[in-house]
Amino acid sequence: MNLPLHFSPQNLIYFLIWCGVLVYASHLARVFREKQINLISKWPWFFLFSGFLLTLGIISLVLPAKGLKLGLDFKGGTLLEIGFSKKVTTQQVRNTIAPIAPVLKHALIQLLSKPPEIGEKNPPVSIILIRSQRLGKTEKQTQKMIKTILTTLKSQYGAVTLRQSKTIGPTIGHELLHDAVIAIIAALIFQLIYITLRFGWNLRYGISADLALIHDVLMMVGLYALFGKEANSPFLAALLTVIGYSVMDSIVIFDRIRENLTLITRASFESVVNQSVLQTMTRSINTLMTVLITLFALYFFGGETLRNFAFALLIGVTSGGYSSIFIASPILVLWERWSSKREKQKMLSTDSIQTNGKKQPAAVEPITDTENEAGEVPLPKRVPKRKPGRRRS
């Protein structure tokens, strides 16, 4: 039986372990719903957990030794696609070319699976893609280094062919990064407008969803830097994908909140939100579970070409599902508390102003002996008449 190229028993064990964790998470969602656990009241713990991870990520971005490692798409470099007449592995190629130049020690080497080109008589058995920093300061130095690489590989593995050679300048990388930032900002703005309009010009829903999105973006970029992954154009594609996924999940929960507000009229807003979260949690967790199983399969069995892309999506999709339930909904409740408190204070201040503007009633005089509590003057007591009789001396 022919196993996948990147299949290994160790990766299979890791994949099965993570699948078990996801199934258990789906079971917990049902338990929470059956026991009617008040998740919204635990918002300080959720915020503390997110703050801890975000702090780690931001520190990783700020530290000079860490930082986000920009790939060739951003800082420029050299890309080589080389065909071999025999079967080779990426580790063999790395061991062969690493002594040629220091930049090649950290080059990204991938094994490609491509169909033969039209009219190609002798298609290569193996195709290797080498992505590294610029091999020379000038174009002449770069071409000289490429010839040295081809000569070294030919002496070790026989006939080799240079199928593609490309030099990426840093200017293209800066333009790509600039366009990506504009795309993210535009997505946040238009999603804010759309959600606000959808929920009846209610700005709090749009801002809550966008705050959860900013949480996901920072979480994804920070943890990506913390684990030392290299950010290329696939990372940006994953980032924009996560933004769309997170908003979709938040809108489902917000829709249920809006429906329950018309059905459950005697409960508090926090109770309605918690009930809505519990009602949609099973659906959200199961949807997230199916996506994560596919991403774990890509990460463990997709090879180096898809591993970084799958890793970015794993962080972003998990953060998106988490923030929709445990960040966006509590923000909505906290906003409602703040708004209600502000309205009460406004009403109290209005009543105080109206009271001060009116004429105060006259002071009540104390009740005298000649008046009873009703303010009536009591009648004089009757003196009983004496019976006629002898006059005493």
14-65, pLDDT tens digit by residue? 888 988 988 888 888 888 888 888 989 999 999 999 999 999 999 988 887 7
What does pTM read for this prediction?
A: 0.73
Q: Identify the CATH number of the domain defined by range 77-168.
A: 3.30.70.3220
What is the end-to-end Cα distance of the chain in Å, rounded? 147
Residues of the chain with CATH 1.20.1640.10: 26-70+172-344
358-387, pLDDT tens digit by residue? 545 554 445 444 444 444 445 455 545 555
Contacts of 201 (CB under 8 A, 6+ apart): none
206-228, pLDDT tens digit by residue? 899 889 999 999 999 999 888 88
Neighbours of 262 (CB within 10 A): 8
Closest among 175, 182, 167 to 72, alpha carbons compared: 167
Residues of the chain with CATH 3.30.70.3220: 77-168
166: enclosing H helix or E strand: strand 160-168
User: Looking at the domain 26-70+172-344, which fold is it?
Assistant: Multidrug efflux transporter AcrB transmembrane fold (1.20.1640)
